[in-house]
Every structure is written in C-alpha cells, then in structure tokens.
Structure 1
Amino acid sequence: MIKMKKSFLIRAVMAASLLTASVVTTAQAAVLASLRPLGFIAAAIADGVTPTDVLLPDGQSPHGYSLHPSDLQRMRSADLLVWVGPDMESFMSKSVAQLPPNRVVDLSAIPEVKPLLMAADNQEQREHDIRAHNKIADDQQTAVYDMSVWLSPDIAKLTAIAIHAKLLELMPQKKDQLDANLRQFEAGLTKTDIKLGKMLQPVQGKGYFVFQDTFSYFEKHYGLSPMGRLSVNPEIPPGVQRLHQIRTQLVEQKAVCVFAEPQFRPAIINAVAQGTTVRTSTLDPLGGGIALTKDSYVNFLSHLTSQYVSCLK
C-alpha cells in the first residue's frame, strides 16, 4: 500500500513538472521567419531575448510551397512572424491575414523599403505567374518586383529595424537587450559591407551568367555585372538546340563563369559548360546549412561573396 502511494506521488510530481514545463514553453516568446535569410536577421535582433525559427525547411523554395497543418500552428503560436510579403509568398497570404498586425513584419510593406524595390528582369513571366496564381483580371495593373530583398544589405538593415520595433512593442521589458542587439547588428553589417566591397572590387568587370535573376539586389549593391540569364528550368535538362545556343552565347560574350543555384542538378550545369572554358559554380540565395545565430546574416553575405570571387577570379 505504501509503495503504491509512493508510486502515485512520483507520477503526480512528474505530471506537474511536465505541465509546468509545457506552460513555460508555451508562454515563451518566439520569432518565426518565413525564409532562412530572414531568420538570420531576426536571430540577430532576438539574440538572448527570444528564440528564432524558420518556417520553410532547407531546400524548399517559396515558389510552389504549400502550408501543412503544423506550419499553420507554428504561425499562430509565434509571437512575431517575419515574411517577405504576398508577392513572394502568396501561399501564406490568407493565413497571415488572420494574425494581429502587431505580430507581423511584412518586408514589402515597410515604407522605407518600397522605394528600394527593383523591377523584375523577367517582368512578363512574373506578371503572368502572379495573375495566374491570384486570378487577377487582365485589365488589372500589377506591380512586378524582384522580391529577393534579403540579398540587399540596405533592406536587411531596414528589416532589422522593423523587427526591433515590433519586438519592443511585444517585450518592452527587454528594451536594453533589443537596443544593444540592433546596434551590434548595424555595426557588424557596416563593417562586413565595407570588407565585402573591397573583396568584390577586383571582379566587378568580369562577365558571368546566372540561371535565374535571384541576385539582382546583391549585384547592384556591389557593382557586379551579369551578362545575362540563361532561363533554364532546374528540373528539365535543356535540349541539344538550347545547349548550342547557350554555349554560343557564353563563348561570344567571353563569360568567365556560370552560376547555378542548389536546386540545379550537376548534369545540367556540366552540360551547359561542356566544350567551353567557362567555369561553373553555385550560389545559394537561401543560405542553406548556415545556423541561426547573431552573426548568421553577415556570414551569409560573406559566403556568397566568397562564391563569386572564387569563380570570377
């Protein structure tokens, strides 16, 4: 009988402990970023204040992604959601609209960001995609922008300021830490920006091609000049005629390098460059594999810079 009472008491204590832990975990604030690079910026501002997590798994593209029930739960339970906006992540639009505005940072809606947005290179295709996905009437006007805005150090700084402001509203008691984190992020970004500019200066005149126009903000910021975009579907190997056109283009324009992204199969990249002296490399616009820390955004920019320099030099 005594043993049974002891066993019951032990189970009761354990249950109470688990319940307490659950309450603490639920009450603990959290920042959820839609994409990994936004998580880099958020992690710097929230460092030592609240955890940061990323919605999309590594290797997943925001184009064509569908939310799972677990994703919806994470969005609802997060204290702050950071996303690029409906033009990039239309799959999130309806769910984000149900969240309180004070718990959302929409990069595309930040007033200071809007003047910095760049028109998409492939405007016609992007406008067609937007119309088709959102069922916009043909007579409606649609603004078609390149929304890979996290690749702009200037927009990254504005994003950090917006995240800081929202977290300050939610956690005024953490003001000192949040302020210190923002100052540290801005100082680190400025220092890294100068360093990377010097690293990229010797290759500014080197010609290269990309498969997609993802890196326009980074290229504009650092004075890089891509010769063009090869418009190759990462899932479908180009045909013989298209390969011949690409190789002719690479040789005639004396390209030094061709940059692909991680979703491109090596066979496609090798086929494009075969028979030429053009080097090949990969640029990762989402920073896969980089851990979320207070320094992850500057590490992300530094990694991209090294990829450009190693191929173009």
Structure 2
Amino acid sequence: MLHKNTLLFAAVSAALWAGATVPSQAAVVASLKPLGFIAAAIADGVTPTEVLLPDGASEHDYALRPSDVKRLQNADLVIWVGPEMEAFMQKTVGTLPPQKQLALAELESVKPLLMKGSEEDEHEHGDDHHDDEKGDGHHHHGDYNLHIWLSPEIAKSSAVAIHKKLVELMPQSRAKLDANLQNFEAELDRTDKQVSTVLTPLKGKGYFVFHDAYGYFEKHYGLTSLGHFTVNPEIQPGAQRLHEIRTQLVEQKATCVFAEPQFRPAVIEAVARGTKVRMGTLDPLGTDIKVGKNGYMQFLTELSNQYASCLKGD
C-alpha cells in the first residue's frame, strides 16, 4: 500500500513539475494594456488575453525578458502598434508568421486617421540628449503620433481587425467573435456619448500635459491643450524648457497641469508653484484597470474623469 502511495505521489509531483515548466498556453498577447482592453473584448470567452508590458513600465524604454520572448513566440496572435512605437518587440515579432501578428498603425483603415507628431520633437531633445544608449530612435515615433489607443475611432478599426484575425485563426468560434465585436461597437458608441457629455462643457479651458500622448483623445473631444513638457517621458525637460512652460502657464492662464502615475511630478510641482494652476494626473495606459471585456470603456471613462476633475476645479 505504501509503495502504491509513493508511486502515486511521485506521479502527481512529476505532473505538477512538468506543468510548471510548460510555457503558458497560447493566447492573444497585446504589447500595451489599452490594446489588451480592446483585444480582450473581442476574444472574450474564446481565448485569454495577456499584456506584455507590466504596470508601471514605459513603452519608451522597455527591454524584453526571455519569458516575454517565449510568450510572444507561443501566442496565437500578437497585437502591437508597430515597430516605431514598441521598438523593443521588433526583432521577436519579425520572426512570427504574418497570420500571428497585427501591427495596428499599419492597417489600411488606421493610416488615414494617424495624426502628425509634434513639430518640436527633434530640437526639444537636443539639450537633454545625454543617454546615448537610448539614442537610436526610442525618443520619437517617426512622423506620427502613435498613441493610437487614445482614439475611439482607431479603437473601433482595431477591434474590427482583431476580429478578422481571430476568425481566420479560430473559425469554429466565429459566432462568439461576431457577437463580441457587435457588443464592443455598441458599448463604445454609448461610452463615447457619455464622455462627450462630461467633456463638452470643458472645451476652451487650457492646460499642459506631462508628455505628448493625448492628441487623439483631445482632438476627438475638442479639448484645448496648451502644450507638453516632453515628448519622451524618460527625459526630464531642461531648465530653459521649464522656464518657457512656466511663462506660458501664467500668460495663457492655464487651468491645470497634468502629471502621469509612473513619472514623479516633482518637475511639475516646481513649475506650478506660486501660480494658480491646479495639478491633476492622467493615466494614458489604464494602470488600475483590469484587462477584460469592459476595460476599454472603463479606460475612456476614467481618462475623461481625470481631465474633468482638474479642469472643473470643483
């Protein structure tokens, strides 16, 4: 009897040990959390959605770990903005077959919606360009603003493209994928109207953002950004730039200055000190939101509330 139990224990241990070393099951893997929100809505009930970039990390300077490479290689589908945004993924994604990857900024439906990047990107970096090891294109995203997940319009196009890919990969789940897409589009329209209601009264109130990420959201909802501190949040703006911003805050009667959760607002506190400008926080990656089918709606709602709470100045 003892011998039998020992054998059983050994068998169970071996199975558990084997399970622990097997790579995680294939899934949809999104580079950034907001892309994960969109993907999770479409893949809901069909296949799990995982996010590559951990909370608190920045897409501007992330480096893949060996476990990340494995996750990408084992994924059913990898969703990213594209090589100019997530440069850290380019090498690994380049080895994947075309049907298992989706670069959203390269979609024909998205290209016409892309906004140009900041004119001052290049010279703004001139006097702060001291980390040479990152000086190979991490500091700007080509000619376009690639924070495309902040556009409800591009989110809808992205959902359609993710749906198409998953139907090709999992035709047996077509009915569920179709229903998920319909539900996402309906919920997005409803949320878009709600957010417009919150933000419309705030049109014309000027503010500064910490980094140049919010153009799509601002354009869509008609908000009035007076400018940004930096294009790449990894680089602290220089003294001259801070002086310019402080002057603009006062002259243009800015209502608010917005920081971001993963970047210390000391620089913002220094600029706002002694002025009547309020400080708020915007989270362009939805750090506190769970990846799930309603994640993108929560993301838009939360961002609109972050703008409103500071701009209203209740």
Q: Decide: shared fold, TM above 0.5.
A: yes
Cα deviation for residue 263 of structure 1 reads 3.1
Aligned runs of 1:134-173 on 2, under 5 Å? 144-173=143-172
| Contact kept? 2:211, 2:230, Cα under 8 Å | yes
Partner of 2:97: 100
**Equivalence for 1:139:** none
**Counterpart of 1:90?**
87
Count of equivalent residues? 302
Distance 1:214 1:74, change over 3 A: same
Whether the 8 Å contact between 2:257 and 2:280 is mirrored in structure 1 is yes
Gapped regions of structure 2 (runs ≥ 5): none
Within the alignment, does 1:114 sit opposite 2:111 as a pair? yes
Aligned residue in 2 for 1:206: 205
Is 1:291 equivalent to 2:294 in the alignment?
no
- 2:56 is the counterpart of 1:59: yes
Partner AA of 2:244 in structure 1:
Q
Hey, what does 1:68 align to over in structure 2? 65
Classify 1:310/1:127 alpha carbon distance in 2 versus 1 (closer, same or farther; 3 Å): closer
d(CA) in 2 for partners of 1:197 and 1:105?
30
C-alpha displacement of 1:77:
0.8
TM norm structure 1: 0.88
Greater Cα offset, 297-306 or 55-64: 55-64
SS in 1 for 2:156: helix
- Aligned-residue Cα RMSD (Å) equals 2.7
Q: Matches of 1:252 and 1:59 in 2, distance apart? A: 34
Residues in 2 aligned to 1:180 and 1:294: alpha-carbon distance in whole angstroms? 12
Q: Report deviation, 1:8.
A: 1.2
1:306 maps to what in 2?
Answer: 305
1:178 corresponds to 2:181: no
Structure 1 residues 111 and 7: CA distance shift in structure 2, 3 A: same
- Corresponding position of 1:138: none
State the match for 1:36 in structure 2.
Answer: 33
Letter in 2 for 1:40: F
Q: Which amino acid aligns with 1:177?
A: K
Alpha-carbon shift at residue 18 of structure 1 (Å): 6.9
Counterpart Cα distance in 2 of 1:70 and 1:195: 40
2-structure distance, mates of 1:97, 1:173: 28
Q: Which moved more, 1:259-268 or 1:6-15?
A: 6-15
Structure 2 vs 1, CA of residues 114 and 274 (structure 1 numbering), >3 Å: closer, same or farther? same
Q: Tell whether the 8 Å contact from 1:234 to 1:265 is kept in structure 2 after alignment.
A: no
- The change in CA–CA distance for 1:64 and 1:13 in structure 2 (over 3 A counts) is closer
Q: In structure 2, how many angstroms separate the alpha carbons of the residues matched to 1:252 and 1:234?
A: 28
The more displaced of 186-195 and 207-216 is 207-216
Q: How far has the Cα of 1:121 moved from its partner?
A: 1.2
1:21-62, Cα deviation, whole Å (9 max, x unpaired): 679x86954110000100010111111111111101111111
- In 2, the alpha carbon distance for the partners of 1:180 and 1:126 equals 48
Structure-2 change in CA distance of 1:3 and 1:243 (3 Å): closer
Matching residue's letter, 1:30? A
Alignment-derived partner of residue 3 in structure 2: 4
Q: TM-score, normalised by structure 2?
A: 0.88
Q: 1:126 to 1:49 in 2, by over 3 A?
A: farther
Deviation at 1:243, TM superposition (A): 4.5
For 1:280 and 1:17, locate their aligned partners in 2 and report how far apart those are by CA, in whole Å.
51
Larger CA Rg, structure 1 vs 2: 1
* Cα gap change, 1:126 to 1:61, in 2 (>3 Å): farther
Is the contact between residue 235 and residue 264 of structure 1 (CA under 8 Å) also seen in structure 2?
no
Corresponding position of 2:122? 125
